[in-house]
Amino acid sequence: MERRTALRTTVVVAAGSAIAATLTACGSDGGSGNAGTINLPADTALVKASQRTGQADSFEADLTIADTGDGGTTIRGSGDVRLRPNLAFTATLDQLKVGGQTLPGVGSRAILVGDTLYAKVPRLAEFATGGKPWLRLNVDRTGRRLGFGFDEITDAVQRVNPAEQTKMFTGSKDARRVGEEKIEGVRTGHYTGTVTLQDALNRLDPQTREKVRRWHTDGSDRLAFDIWIDSENLPRKLVVKGTSKGHETSTVTVLYRDYGKKIRVNPPPADQVGDVTDTVGRFLGGGN
């Protein structure tokens, strides 16, 4: 169970961090534009942010997911993501707590290149790869043996993808501007509001709507959000709280930076990698 949790969590954080923002390919740091644009009314700011974030090619993000179920779970990770021309990322697991207990796996890393996932999970190396620090598996071939595949990775991306999140927020009927704040030294406008899950989903195209619906497994029926948008209409911070019948179910927090940075995602050196594509089911207890 511990081995399965460590590997799955590394992938989830990788995907989540990978996920975490759809920002810009224009090469701007978002801090030099017209400061007046951070004073836009909430409805205008959200629409502009939605349009702008849809242009993202790459970004760096820090992600924290906190769920209240099963005694409480906190996952914290960070990563670099390239969305186009194809999805690729590197990510690190910085914290994993379940029911108040810190679990093994902190410091684990994941790299996705093409259809190959590389994971550096120290506690797996001794028996899964003959001591080599990195394991490699073909996502398509292992697929359901681990309970995740590309569908799960892309679904996870939707959970904190600002391009989709800001579209969802445009369904809010009470969004408002709170004021101006600096996020990591960048001036931003702070906006807040709520939206029912159904109104949020109605803002999305049918394919995206179904993906987003799948990751709302915590029972949330309303989302409360805070978003900090810079002078170039780019989110710098996002906090989304899911609620069900008035009770908080989960909180997702993302910090974004290095928008448009050229990201090279390279696999580890071949002599440090052990392939587990055909054996992963056995050593995780899932059979063949």
Nearest Cα to Cα of residue 239 among 174, 183, 173, 187: 183
The answer as to whether 264 is a domain residue is yes
Per-residue pLDDT tens digits for 59-103:
888 988 888 766 788 888 888 888 788 878 888 888 888 877 777
Q: Is 199 helix (H, G, I), strand (E, B) or coil?
A: helix
Rounded distance between C-alpha atoms, residue 197 and residue 175, angstroms: 15
pLDDT 10s digits, 147-156: 556 666 655 6
- Domain limits for position 146: 2-279
Provide the number of structural domains found in the chain. Answer: 1
> Looking at the domain assignment, is residue 274 inside a domain?
yes
Please report whether residue 44 resides in a domain.
yes
Q: Is residue 288 part of a domain?
A: no
* Mean pLDDT of the chain, nearest integer: 75
Confirm if 228 and 242 have CB atoms less than 8 A apart. no
In a domain, 73, yes or no: yes
List C-alpha distances in Å: 241 to 14, 189, 218, 237. Answer: 21, 19, 11, 14
> Looking at the domain assignment, is residue 117 inside a domain?
yes
pLDDT tens-digit readout, 234-247 = 999 999 888 777 77
Percent of the chain topping pLDDT 70: 70
We report the CATH number of the domain holding residue 199 as: 2.50.20.20
Within-domain flag for 287: no
In 110-149, alpha helices (H): 122-128, 139-142
What pLDDT score was predicted for residue 267? 92
Residue 82 lies in a domain: yes
Average pLDDT value for residue range 240-259: 83
The answer to whether the beta carbons of residues 177 and 226 sit under 8 Å apart is no
pLDDT at 196 over 60: yes
Residue 87 confidence (pLDDT): 79
